[in-house]
Structure formats: C-alpha cells, structure tokens
C-alpha cells in the first residue's frame, strides 16, 4: 500500500568556502534540534531518453534514513511536490503501483536505473514552543553518478529547506534571506537528479510570450502549452481516483480541442483535425465517469434538501447500490484507456504539435489586432444556437438547442480565456459573463440527463418492492428547475452581449 505526503522545499547552491549561517532567531522558532547525521543512497529510474526527468518527475529506490522505500515525486506547484511512497520490499524493480502513475510520460517505455546518488546529510529541525516542526534545514554532501558505461562521478554541496507541518511559507522566505547573506543562492535545479543529468537533458526551451506585444501565434500556443501540462498533471490523479481529477482532466482535454477549433486560422485546422478527433474520444471516455459522479452528487444533494417525511424507503442505500458498481466500472475503463496505445499516441501528437506547431501566416500578426475577430467568430456561433433556442417550443428539440448553445458557450469562454493575457480585465469580465450562461445551460443539461436516470431508479425501486415516490418527486423537481431555466434564458442571453476586446 502506498502513502503520500506533500513536501514544500527549496534547494540552494552552497559554493566552496560558504558556511551555513546560524539557525537561531527566526520568528516563531522556540528551539533548534541538534543536528543529525544521516547516510542515504538512492537509485533513480527513468526511460533511456529521460522522459520522467523532463516532465519534472522522479522515481527512486532509497535506502537509509527514516523514510527508506520507493519514492515517486510528482510536481504540484511552486516549491511543492507530492511524494508517493511504497515500502522497499525485496524487488529491485519499481512497483507497478508507481510505474502506472508515470505512464503519461513513459508511455510504455521500459524504466531502468539511470543514476545513483549517495548523500551524507546533516539535518537541523526548528520547532515551535510545542515541539511541532516548523522547518527542516539540511546540508547535503552529494556524490552522484550516471548509470552507464564509462560514467564519472560528480559531487557537490547543497542546502535544502523544507517546510514542516506547522510552518508557514513566509518562514521559508525568512530562512532564504538568512542564507542569502551567507552567499548561498537558490539552485537552478529542482532535484539532485536534474542537476546530475542537466547536460543530457539540455536547456529547457522558452515558452511562448504573452502580453499586448505578443503575436497571435504566441497567445494560442501559450494556451495550448498550459492545458497540455494540465492534462498530464491530472493523469496520475485520475488513475488514483482522486476527487475532481476526472473533471479537471476532461476540462483540459476540451480546452485544447476548443482552442484548436476556434483558432484554426492560427494553427492550421486541417493539420490538427485528427488530433481534435482523438481529444473528443478521450473526453468522451472520461465523460462516462464524470457524468456518473455528477448524477450521484446531484441526487444525494436533492435528497438531502427534501423534508425527511418525503424520503420514503432506503433511498441512500439504493443510490449507493446503483452508482457504486457503475462508477467502479467507469474508473476501470478510464484507467485502461490511459494505459492504451491510442492514448499514448494522442500524447505524442500533442507533444509534436507543441514542438513544431503548424502555424499559418495569421499567427505572425499582433494579437491585439487578430484576436478580437476570432473571438467574435465564436460569439456568432453561440448567437446562432441561442436564436434557435428562442425560436423553438419546449420539448426535445429545444433541449437539443440548449445543449448546443451550452457547447458553443463553452467554446466562446475558452476562446476568450486564451485572450485574457492580452486584453486583461475586459476579457476577464466577458469570460465571466459567458461562464454564467454556460453554468445556467449546464444545469439544464444535467436536468435533462437526470430525469431518465431518476425514472429508472424509481421503476427499479418499485420492482424490488420499495417505494418509488421520492424518485418521482425528484423527477418533478428536475422538470420544474429545467422549465425555470428556459424562462430565464432569454434575459440572461441578452445580458451577455457582444465581445468588446481592445
């Protein structure tokens, strides 16, 4: 069984002749534990072309210290990574529990030792008046070698400062200022492994620039880079069935697809058509799990809002019996998809697109000039669907028109979102208005999907000798809620207005 912890730490270069400054007098620190000396050894695993390291991920087998085991470190945010730990065991190969979580990078390639790092560590722990850890400072003497023929050993000295459970991020800044006065500077590498392999990995290419002086191509590519990174970030979380992970990965997938469609005159639409088809496929697979999650939460919340006298029969138990096997099956399908050759090919295609984007001549134009027309095009698409809603009567045809309007609103929102770094507050305000109508239409679509499911639950309850009244009541409430949304739609749509970016 694995465990995981979030660690927030900073690494520093300790040049020859520099001494670690005194670690006293920090605000909130009541005592400094005497330094401990620890011997550590770690073997790092990666693909031959270092796909994990390039993705900011490390997988190691560590011995020594109080946390010996298999460690997988996944990036979370600034200075923060999640460390997933599995006990050492007898095997020398990484456990499947961890190798599965790196497939978004490895994509079926074999993992083998790429480096061995030995560390002699001195550790100081700074605690508060209750003895709770605020921050840990370590001084490491590192001896590292690449695992291949003819490899040479590299060595260096570094300082790590890691936040404790009771410490605040501001304490990291205070400690950093103390180190700075001693000539100790922030390291350019986030991990020992990336420092050792820096020559093999090469410099990280600069990302597209944004802002009012950016080209249209820069703006679109920056948006694609951002959400391609989000897609990869949420892959391990989906595999672990973490809350909201499926939703966030699906949103990232849809944002990439929408950008390629809406900005098809910037990134050649014909050359991305196959990729958008595959992104639609992936979003559809993830959608099965997401839709079940939404329905379960919707029904549970609906029951919780009812007068208890109107909740007849074992409603909560029936919801659990109904949704649990369906959600487990959908999760299994999602994980199988994330391990498939088709998914790996999709990821390869996204990487290839970002590495060599098929830009059109329009991409070279100043974003402030070209983007408004492209956003307006997405608006006109929404307007056509909205007018169709207004011209139809309640019923199945209008439900379809509202759903198409929702999808068009989503594309307009994402198209506007890409323009925010260029147009700032104006684009943000318009995006917010679009999100409002998208949310309204999303509630309507959820109601459309919910009603057949409630009917099925009510029928099954009756067949099993239970009372289906509560499910019928919820069905009626859903119908009423949808009708109210349809009444509100014309006024909400009028308030959206045309985009005015300048």
> Looking at per-residue confidence, does 259 or 78 come out higher?
259
The C-alpha atoms of residue 110 and residue 356 are separated, in whole angstroms, by: 26
Q: For residue range 4-63, list pLDDT tens digits in order.
A: 999 999 999 988 888 899 998 999 999 988 889 999 999 999 999 999 999 999 999 999
- Between helix 367-390 and helix 245-262 the angle, nearest 10°, is 110
Whether 309 and 467 have beta carbons less than 8 Å apart is answered as no
Name the 3-class secondary structure at 36.
strand
pLDDT at 457: 97
> Looking at per-residue confidence, does 182 or 1 come out higher?
182
Chain-centroid distance, C-alpha 269: 26
Q: For residue range 369-385, list pLDDT tens digits in order.
A: 999 999 999 999 999 99
pLDDT at 204: 81
Q: For residue range 431-455, list pLDDT tens digits in order.
A: 999 999 999 999 999 999 999 999 9
**HSE value, Cβ hemisphere, 13 Å, CA-based, for 442:** 12
Is the pLDDT confidence value at 151 over 80? Answer: no
- Name the phi and psi angles at 32, rounded to 5: -120, 115
pLDDT at 371: 96
Is the pLDDT confidence value at 261 over 70? Answer: yes
Domains 3-201 and 216-496 share a fold: no
pLDDT at 149: 67
Superfamily of domain 216-496, CATH level 4: CHAD domain (1.40.20.10)
Is the pLDDT confidence value at 366 over 90? Answer: yes
Q: How much is the average pLDDT of 240-253?
A: 96
Q: For residue range 180-192, list pLDDT tens digits in order.
A: 999 999 998 889 9
Band of residue 361 on the pLDDT scale cut at 50, 70, 90: very high
pLDDT at 34: 81
Topology classification of domain 3-201: Hypothetical Protein Pfu-838710-001 (2.40.320)
Q: How much is the average pLDDT of 71-85?
A: 94
123 is written with which tokens? 């550790």
| Cα Rg, the chain, nearest whole Å | 27
Query: Which residues pair with residue 359 across a beta bridge?
Result: 267
Alpha helices, H only, 213-244: 216-239
For the chain, give every domain's residue range. 3-201, 216-496
**Percent of the chain clearing pLDDT 90 (strictly above):** 88
**Percent of the chain clearing pLDDT 70 (strictly above):** 100
Q: How much is the average pLDDT of 84-99?
A: 91
């Amino acid at each position: 069984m694995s465990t995981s912890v979030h660690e927030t730490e900073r690494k520093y270069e300790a040049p020859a002749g520099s001494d670690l400054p005194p670690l006293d007098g920090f605000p909130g620190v009541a005592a400094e534990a005497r330094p401990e000396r620890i011997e550590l050894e770690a073997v790092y695993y990666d693909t031959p072309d270092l796909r994990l390291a390039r993705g900011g991920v490390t997988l190691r087998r560590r011995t020594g210290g109080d946390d010996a085991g298999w460690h997988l470190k996944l990036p979370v945010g600034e200075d923060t990574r999640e460390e997933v730990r599995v006990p050492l065991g007898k095997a020398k190969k990484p456990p499947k529990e961890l190798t599965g979580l790196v497939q978004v990078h490895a994509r079926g390639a074999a993992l083998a030792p790429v480096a061995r790092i030995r560390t002699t560590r001195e550790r100081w722990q700074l605690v508060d008046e209750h003895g709770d850890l605020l921050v840990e400072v370590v001084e490491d003497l590192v001896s590292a070698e690449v695992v291949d023929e003819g490899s040479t050993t590299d060595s260096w000295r570094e300082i790590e400062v890691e936040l404790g459970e009771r410490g605040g991020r501001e304490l990291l800044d205070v400690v950093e200022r103390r180190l700075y006065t001693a000539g100790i500077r922030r390291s350019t590498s986030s991990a020992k492994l990336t420092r050792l392999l820096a020559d093999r990995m090469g410099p990280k290419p600069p990302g597209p620039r944004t802002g009012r002086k950016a080209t249209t191509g820069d703006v679109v590519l920056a948006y694609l880079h951002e959400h391609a990174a989000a897609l990869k970030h949420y892959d391990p979380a989906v595999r672990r069935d973490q809350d909201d992970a499926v939703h966030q990965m699906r949103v990232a997938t849809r944002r990439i697809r929408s950008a390629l469609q809406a900005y098809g005159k910037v990134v050649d639409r014909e050359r991305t058509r196959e990729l958008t088809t595959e992104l639609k496929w992936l979003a559809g697979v993830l959608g099965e799990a997401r839709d079940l999650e939404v329905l379960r939460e919707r029904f549970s919340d609906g029951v919780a809002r009812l007068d208890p006298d109107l909740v007849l029969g074992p409603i909560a138990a029936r919801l659990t019996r109904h949704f649990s096997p369906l959600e487990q099956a959908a999760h299994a399908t999602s994980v199988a998809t994330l391990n498939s050759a088709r998914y790996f090919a999709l990821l390869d295609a996204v990487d290839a697109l970002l590495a060599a984007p098929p830009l059109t001549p329009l991409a070279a134009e100043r974003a402030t000039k070209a983007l408004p027309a492209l956003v307006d095009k997405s608006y006109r698409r929404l307007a056509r669907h909205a007018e169709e809603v207004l011209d139809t009567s309640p019923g199945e045809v209008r439900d379809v028109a509202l759903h198409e309007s929702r999808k068009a609103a989503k594309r307009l929102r994402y198209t506007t979102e890409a323009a925010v770094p260029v147009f700032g507050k104006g684009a943000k305000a318009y995006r917010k208005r679009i999100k409002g109508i998208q949310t309204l239409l999303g509630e309507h679509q959820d109601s459309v999907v919910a009603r057949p499911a409630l009917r099925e639950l009510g029928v099954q309850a009756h067949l099993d000798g239970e009372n289906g009244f509560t499910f019928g009541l919820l069905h009626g409430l859903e119908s009423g809620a949808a009708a109210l949304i349809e009444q509100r739609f014309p006024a909400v749509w009028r308030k959206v207005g045309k985009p005015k970016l300048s």
